Amino acid sequence: MYVQEASWFQKQQKKKAWQKRVKGYVMCLILLLSVFSGVWFVPLNGKYFPVEGHSINIPEQVLAQEAEEDAKTESDAPVKCDEEIQEESSSNNMEDNIIRNQDDGINIVAIDMGHGGMDEGCSFEGAEEKVINQKLGMLLKEKLEQLGFQVVLTTNGDEKKELLSRLECVKEANADILISIHQNACEDYGVQGIETWYCEASGEDSRRLARLVQQYTILYTKAKDRGIMDADNLVIIRDSAVPSCLVETGFLSNEAERTKLQTEEYCEKLVQGMADAIELYFYPKTMYLTFDDGPYTDSTNKVLDVLKEKNIKATFFLIGKNVEKNPETAKRIAEEGHTIGIHCYNHDYNVIYENAEAYMADFEEAKNIIENITGVETKLFRFPGGSINSYNKKVYKEIIEKMTAAGYVYFDWNASLEDAVKKPNKEKLLKNAKESTLGRKVVVMLAHDTVSVTAEALEELLELFPEYKFCPIDENVQPVTF
């Protein structure tokens, strides 16, 4: 909240200041009265008593009453907890508190509950948008705080507030992200579903946040997926200084969806989806995108172009023969910061898996060529066909033992596009990739940069996984093996 009530102690300080001013005026009046009457008065505990001779005439009942009032005042004072003492010491300065939280590594989420006050938003059959927005916002606040986030609200409950004032709250709170909650409506009462808006000009982080919110609210509610949409006319996300999105959680004009939005169960599902999305925005899972069999001039360069545009690093397990044929592409892989691993020299399973010695000889030839052309010395490798396959059943244990003894580390995979087929289909490859991850926290994704369809599908593939951070493999990564 941004409208903070003064603490009891602040109120007492203001009261005392006011009382001092009043006492000053009374003292002046008493002084004038004494001068003209010849009787002097002295103040005691807010009251004035006449001086008779050398003593002050104070009735006993007055003294008792004063003592009782003093005791009552002390007993009414709230006991300060440690948090209140710390807050008072920083003069209740919101910015000081936020800086302290950032130092503690706490992420700050701003929640904007659309509309409010006299602005009820859309309304159908007694269901008001502002009411549902506020309910979802408060539920989300509670859930995020349970996850350890700090939450700030752009409005103080049910109030009408200008959009720029809401954004000022986000700025003052030094929030990391902003999510604005709304409901939808349409003249066609059959229209339903969830959609999430972002502003493309705000950057990739806003788009990623929108993808996460859309993906996880759909996951929990099973509502119709209307997708994410770019808009430059929604002030709350367009003018936000932090990554932002606006989620329309349903259509109040649709009877079925309106009914759901007024139930506790459905609201909990929506909020759980939003909370998961926000948590994954800050704490993503990890995906190691790996490409086998390259480099090829055309398709590998298309892959590299997409990765460069998205600022993503991947891992390429290279074939020695292809490095000899396409040395410039191999050099580009290294120059652009991707990890290089060794696949083989001759991708003929019958030859390299004839025995352990044949495999080791092929490996050494590939290693020397890759090092000479790219300048990269690597300890990472991947077995053609994986560490265990129908061609190497008799020799894989011996090969693993010899390679491990020599200090090499091999990686298999736990998800795949399954693109090494005769007629790959882009939609099928994307579906394979999505389904094979199984929600794992760590994914090693297998793809082939020699497949043109894979290169064409790469940008869409990256869009499918907003919950993952893409990283290159290095020698410190725990290997995924069969």
The verdict on residue 376 lying in a domain is yes
Same domain, 67 and 111: no
Same domain, 305 and 404: yes
pLDDT at 70 > cutoff 50: no
The model's confidence at residue 15, banded by pLDDT at 50, 70 and 90, is very low
**What's the CATH code of the domain at 444?**
3.20.20.370
**Lowest model confidence (mean pLDDT) among 26-30, 95-99, 304-308:** 95-99
pLDDT of residue 401: 97
Dist. CA 468–CA 280, nearest whole Å = 8
pLDDT of residue 105: 78
**Number of domains making up the chain:** 3
Catalogue the long-range contacts made by 300-303 (C-beta closer than 8 Å, 24 or more residues apart): 300/326, 300/329, 300/333, 300/449, 300/450, 300/455, 301/329, 301/332, 302/452, 302/455, 302/456, 302/458, 303/449, 303/454, 303/455, 303/458
Helix intervals (H) in 311-425: 320-325, 327-335, 349-352, 356-374, 396-405
The verdict on residue 458 lying in a domain is yes
Same domain, 454 and 353: yes
Contacts of 377 (CB under 8 A, 6+ apart): 371
Single residue among 232, 253, 282 that ends a domain in this structure: 282
Q: What is the mean pLDDT of residues 443-464?
A: 97
Is there a contact between 239 and 164 (Cβ–Cβ < 8 Å)?
Answer: yes
Residue range 396-414, pLDDT digits in tens? 999 999 999 999 999 999 9
pLDDT at 44 > cutoff 60: no
Single residue among 282, 302, 328 that ends a domain in this structure: 282
Same domain, 373 and 455: yes
Same domain, 335 and 190: no
The model carries a pTM of 0.76
Residue range 219-238, pLDDT digits in tens? 999 999 999 999 999 999 99
Same domain, 332 and 452: yes
Same domain, 34 and 121: no
pLDDT of residue 28: 58
**What's the CATH code of the domain at 124?**
3.40.630.40
Structural domain containing residue 222: 107-282
Per cent of the chain over pLDDT 90 is 78
pLDDT of residue 38: 59
The verdict on residue 91 lying in a domain is no
Q: Nearest CA to 313 among 473, 464, 449?
A: 473
The model's confidence at residue 2, banded by pLDDT at 50, 70 and 90, is very low
Single residue among 260, 282, 304 that ends a domain in this structure: 282
Indicate the average pLDDT of the chain.
86
Residue range 179-192, pLDDT digits in tens? 999 999 999 999 99
199 against 36, higher pLDDT:
199
Is there a contact between 453 and 482 (Cβ–Cβ < 8 Å)?
Answer: no
Query: Which pair of structure tokens corresponds to residue 224?
Result: 């119709």
pLDDT of residue 11: 41
pLDDT at 135 > cutoff 50: yes
Residue range 141-174, pLDDT digits in tens? 999 999 999 999 999 989 999 999 999 999 999 9
Same domain, 202 and 272: yes
The verdict on residue 85 lying in a domain is no
The verdict on residue 480 lying in a domain is no
pLDDT at 85 > cutoff 90: no
Residue range 322-333, pLDDT digits in tens? 999 999 999 999
The verdict on residue 393 lying in a domain is yes
Same domain, 270 and 247: yes
DSSP lists the bridge partners of residue 435 as: none
Contacts of 356 (CB under 8 A, 6+ apart): 395, 398, 399, 402
Same domain, 264 and 132: yes
Sheet holding 41-44, edge to edge: 41-44, 47-52, 55-56
The model's confidence at residue 128, banded by pLDDT at 50, 70 and 90, is very high
Is there a contact between 215 and 466 (Cβ–Cβ < 8 Å)?
Answer: yes
Is there a contact between 235 and 164 (Cβ–Cβ < 8 Å)?
Answer: yes
Dist. CA 80–CA 88, nearest whole Å = 10
Q: What is the mean pLDDT of residues 124-129?
A: 96
Query: Which pair of structure tokens corresponds to residue 436?
Result: 């094979």
pLDDT of residue 188: 97
The verdict on residue 3 lying in a domain is no
Question: How would you classify the pairing of strands 127-128 and 123-124?
Answer: antiparallel
pLDDT of residue 23: 60
Residue range 352-399, pLDDT digits in tens? 999 999 999 999 999 999 999 999 999 999 999 999 999 999 999 999
pLDDT of residue 39: 55
pLDDT at 138 > cutoff 60: yes
Is there a contact between 375 and 334 (Cβ–Cβ < 8 Å)?
Answer: yes
Dist. CA 241–CA 296, nearest whole Å = 42
pLDDT at 125 > cutoff 50: yes
Same domain, 406 and 294: yes
Contacts of 376 (CB under 8 A, 6+ apart): 334, 340, 370
Is there a contact between 250 and 193 (Cβ–Cβ < 8 Å)?
Answer: yes
Same domain, 274 and 407: no
Dist. CA 110–CA 173, nearest whole Å = 8
The verdict on residue 477 lying in a domain is no
pLDDT of residue 27: 62
Helix (H) or strand (E) holding 212: helix 204-221
pLDDT at 102 > cutoff 80: no
Residue range 256-277, pLDDT digits in tens? 999 999 999 999 999 999 999 9
**Angle ∠(49,51,52) on CA atoms, nearest 5:** 125
List the end-to-end C-alpha distance of the chain, in Å, as a whole number. 52
